[in-house]
Structure 1
């Protein structure tokens, strides 16, 4: 599943702009409750995104089988 506004470790990706911690906190809570998920932030892209940088707040949520 692709999500947006994911700020890894609840840290800003850009010098300016709003920090939205909800998606990070929700994923962290689900993981602590035992949901078999991982999040892979897309990080830096090969094209400019916001405020002259190449970083994005997009992330992919991956599910896996319990016990693996």
Structure 2
């Protein structure tokens, strides 16, 4: 069970880290029909959030889910 919980954090974290503009295109890109691009601040925050999600997912995986019991 903890493996699947950790995957719920690691997989989106990897997407945010390596493909930061993907989230912007899913949420806002369809509204502007490709006439705009995500800002550098959005890209940076997406990468930071992805890194934090990966860290938390690895923490859950390595502790065996003990951190989820707090």
TM-score, structure 2 normalization: 0.32
State the structure with bigger RCO (CA 8 A, min sep 6), 1 or 2: 2
Rg larger for:
2
Q: Which has the higher helix share?
A: 2
Q: Which has the higher strand share?
A: 1
